[in-house]
Amino acid sequence: MSFMGERRFVVGLLVLLFALATALTGQARAKAQPVMPAADPDAWYLAPADIGNYKPGDVIRFRQMPWNLYFPTSEVWEILFRTNDSEGKPIAANTTFILPPNHAPDGPLVSYQHIINALGQKCKLISELYATDLTTQIREAPGLNIALLRGWAVALPDHLGPRMAYGAAKLGGQITLDGIRAVQKLPQLKVMHSPIGMAGYSGGGMATAWAAALAPTYAPELNIIGAVEGGVPMNLVTMAKVLGPNRHVAFGLALAAAIGLEREYPDKVDLTDQLNGTGRFLEDRVANECTNLIMFWGLFHSAPELTDNRDFMDNPAAWEVLRENSLEFYSGVPKAPIFEWHSPIDGLIPVDAIDNTLHRYCRDGVRVESILTPTPDHLSAAVLGFPAALDWMEARFRGEPAPSNCATL
Q: Could you read off the pLDDT of 271-313 as tens digits, one per residue?
A: 898 899 999 999 999 999 988 898 898 888 888 888 888 776 6
> Of 144, 115, 148, 325, which Cα lies nearest the Cα of 230?
115
- Order of strands across the sheet that contains 368-372: 59-64, 75-84, 90-99, 153-157, 109-113, 196-201, 224-230, 338-342, 368-372
Q: What is the pLDDT of residue 244?
A: 56
CA distance 10 to 7: 5
Using 50, 70 and 90 to split pLDDT, how confident is the model at 242? low
Q: Could you read off the pLDDT of 56-104 as tens digits, one per residue?
A: 999 999 999 999 999 999 999 999 999 999 999 999 999 999 999 999 9
CA distance 256 to 261: 9
Q: Could you read off the pLDDT of 329-366 as tens digits, one per residue?
A: 999 999 999 999 999 988 778 899 999 999 999 999 99
pTM comes to 0.90
Q: Are 210 and 227 in contact (CB under 8 A)?
A: no
Three-state DSSP class for 283? helix
Give, as one character, the DSSP assignment of residue 311.
Answer: T
Higher pLDDT: 67 or 115? It is 67
Please, what's the b/e burial string for 101-117 (b: 16 or more CB within 10 A of its CB; e: otherwise)? eebeeebbbbbbbbbbb
Q: Are 311 and 25 in contact (CB under 8 A)?
A: yes
**6-20, 82-96, 189-203, range with the lowest pLDDT:** 6-20
Please, what's the b/e burial string for 29-67 (b: 16 or more CB within 10 A of its CB; e: otherwise)? eebbebbbbeebeeeebebeeebeebebbbbbebeeeee
What does the DSSP assignment read for 234-273?
--HHHHHHHH-S--BTTHHHHHHHHHHHHHH-TTT-B-GG
